[in-house]
Amino acid sequence: MEKTMPKARKRRRRRRDRGSASDTVLKITQPLFNVPPYDLVDAEKLQLIHHKSMQILEEAGIAFYDDEAQAILSRHGVKVVDDIAYFDRGLIMEYIAKAPSQFTWSARNPERDVIIGGKHVCFGPVAGPPYVVDRDHGRRQSTHQDLINFLKLTQLSPYLHSAGSETVVSSDIPIEYRHLELMYAHLIYGDKPVMGVYHTGEIGQDSIELAKIAFGVEAMAQKHYLHCIVNVSSPRRLDDRMLSLMIAYARNNQIINVTPFILSGAMGPVSILGTVAQLNAETLAGIVFAQMIVPGTPSVYGSFQAVIDLQSGAPVFGAPESQLALYLSGQLARHYGLPFRAAGAYASSKIIDAQGGYESVMSMLPSLFAQPNFILHAAGWLEAGLSAGYEKFILDCELLGMYHTYLKGINWDEDEWAMDAILDEVPPGGHHLGTSHTQRHFRSAFYRAEMFDYDSGEGWLAKGAMDVYKRANKTYKQRLQEYEQPPLDPAIEEALRAYIEKTTAD
């Protein structure tokens, strides 16, 4: 086949795969689920889970530790006693129905806007690790330069559609204004949709103010530029940090993603059904509250579940039980007609060895079967989320590239049957290498993973027997060299810096 592939095509392919800033980033297209979702259980069994969740909401309730939030709940007919809100199931369904089933998450560059909901999926990088790891320097505390590096790699990858949030912690920046520098970096180094910083209402408000400078006050009022994760502190608890954040985001027309984090055996029961019922109750309570603040607030049904290792208490990602729980969460989100968030290329491994590889697909592929509309932590995640790996990031992006092809599903064009080749051109024992069908289609056939080695054993040995860790190490450094900053009006940059100076001076 080597000879039949025109040179221009090869060059184009190489350029795309390397991901140079000049052309690749423009080619992003958010994939669609052109394959059906996986329904683990039938409608009747799903109703059973729904009913158990309703029982939890009605009888056990959810704690809302914030006066303003309690006032909002009471005003909307929720019974609040001793900080605990008891939700009637009719009320739950009434307010869930107010949440849009699909909306646009806007980017600085409108060509990079993404749709959250329906058949659309959006991938984002890992968020939150305080450590980074690479092959040269091992594991170390992450710095602001690491954050910038990951923002650059995110901007360069055609398979990440959002820049996520706080890819790694800028531990060398004082905590008081770290969130400002973080938000600034997100706004400067890339032009894909950003999440903002969302630890508390106050921090969330700073993100909103910076976004107003970057995108304009009017645009922020009309569009959804920011996206926060509201972490339900499971079991059954929303604290004042999260509640004030929700109020700030809802009142500013921005996206609220309600995601309980449950380690089954610790924040939830040691069983799949109990965990999913509790998780469902918690997520729905959060979304209902968002709709009570401002009806129509873009809201996402989040699910983040792992199990604990019953010997050490450590979190275990990619466990078989988690895969099953994920399918149920996906079915529930579809049942409620809500955009769904799940993740990601999870791994408990400390480095991107074979364990890291196994675990990543064991998390990522089940997630695709559950069909989330937003997959955060889709690249770079290691050490149960405590570490971001440079090489892991590159390899996960490769995986996402494959899934871009996978999600296209079957092409039903008549020519895909290749009947002219099968019936007329190729005799028994012949080959399809030179058929006219192959000539017509080889250009678009088969995704090629550039980071994977498909050479013969001998060829691989002759080239130095490099494992994929070494290859990805070379690639991430090359990519950082290739990065070009997307243009931004200097006046905006200046105004952002002025806001940061003013706020840190206060």
DSSP letters, 377-421, are S-SSEEGGGTEEEHHHHHHHHHHHHHHHHHTT-----GGGG-HII
Minimum Å gap between C-beta 208 and a second copy is 28
Token pair, residue 115, equals 């749709």
Minimum Å gap between C-beta 177 and a second copy is 27
Number of alpha carbons in the 13 Å side-chain half-sphere of residue 180: 20
x/- track of binding to a second copy for residues 125-164 (CB under 8 A): ------x------xx-------------------------
Cα distances from 395 to residues 100, 401, 469, 504, in angstroms, run 34, 10, 9, 38
Q: Is 417 among the residues that bind a second copy (CB under 8 A)?
A: yes
Q: Is 400 among the residues that bind a second copy (CB under 8 A)?
A: no
For a second copy, the closer of residues 62 and 226 by Cβ is: 62
Q: Phi and psi dihedrals of 8, rounded to 5?
A: -60, -40
Q: Is 251 among the residues that bind a second copy (CB under 8 A)?
A: no
Judged on CB neighbours under 10 Å (0-12, 13-18, 19+), 390 is buried
Minimum Å gap between C-beta 341 and a second copy is 21
x/- track of binding to a second copy for residues 357-396 (CB under 8 A): xxxxxx--xx--x-------------xx-xx---xx--x-
CB contact set of 254 (below 8 Å; sequence gap of 6+): 196, 208, 220, 224, 225, 226, 227, 228, 298
CA separation for the pair 64, 44 (Å, rounded): 32
For a second copy, the closer of residues 38 and 177 by Cβ is: 38
- Out of 429, 464, 487, 490, the only residue in the binding site for a second copy (CB under 8 A) is 429
Nearest to 393 by CA among 185, 153, 139, 168: 153
Neighbours of 46 (CB within 10 A): 17
Minimum Å gap between C-beta 45 and a second copy is 8
Can you tell me whether residue 307 is helix, strand or coil? strand
- Please list every residue from 189 through 208 that binds a second copy, using CB under 8 A: none
- Cis previous bond, 260, omega within 30: no
Chain centroid, CA 435 distance in Å: 42
For a second copy, the closer of residues 98 and 334 by Cβ is: 334
Q: How many residues does the chain have?
A: 506
- Out of 418, 480, 495, 500, the only residue in the binding site for a second copy (CB under 8 A) is 418
- Please list every residue from 290 through 309 that binds a second copy, using CB under 8 A: 307-309
Q: Which of the stretches 56-64, 180-188, 203-211, 483-491 binds a second copy when contact is defined by CB under 8 A?
A: 56-64
Can you tell me whether residue 338 is helix, strand or coil? coil
Q: Which of the stretches 167-175, 177-185, 222-230, 464-472 binds a second copy when contact is defined by CB under 8 A?
A: 464-472
Chain centroid, CA 304 distance in Å: 11
Q: Is 350 among the residues that bind a second copy (CB under 8 A)?
A: yes
Token pair, residue 98, equals 């107010």
Q: Is 324 among the residues that bind a second copy (CB under 8 A)?
A: yes
For a second copy, the closer of residues 177 and 469 by Cβ is: 469
- Out of 205, 252, 349, 475, the only residue in the binding site for a second copy (CB under 8 A) is 349
Q: Is 469 among the residues that bind a second copy (CB under 8 A)?
A: yes
Q: Is 474 among the residues that bind a second copy (CB under 8 A)?
A: no
Q: Is 46 among the residues that bind a second copy (CB under 8 A)?
A: no
* Binding-site size, a second copy (CB under 8 A): 128
Q: Is 319 among the residues that bind a second copy (CB under 8 A)?
A: yes
Q: Is 356 among the residues that bind a second copy (CB under 8 A)?
A: yes
- Please list every residue from 60 through 99 that binds a second copy, using CB under 8 A: 60, 62-63, 83-84
- Please list every residue from 259 through 288 that binds a second copy, using CB under 8 A: 264-274, 277-278
CA separation for the pair 344, 115 (Å, rounded): 18
CA separation for the pair 302, 16 (Å, rounded): 33
Q: Is 118 among the residues that bind a second copy (CB under 8 A)?
A: no
For a second copy, the closer of residues 213 and 267 by Cβ is: 267
Minimum Å gap between C-beta 232 and a second copy is 10
Minimum Å gap between C-beta 196 and a second copy is 26
Handedness of CA 463, 469, 472, 474 (dihedral sign): negative
- Out of 39, 94, 181, 240, the only residue in the binding site for a second copy (CB under 8 A) is 39
Using H for helix, E for strand and C for coil, what is the string for 87-139?
CCHHHHHHHHCCCCCEEEECCCCHHHCEEEECCECEECCCCCCCEEEECCCEE
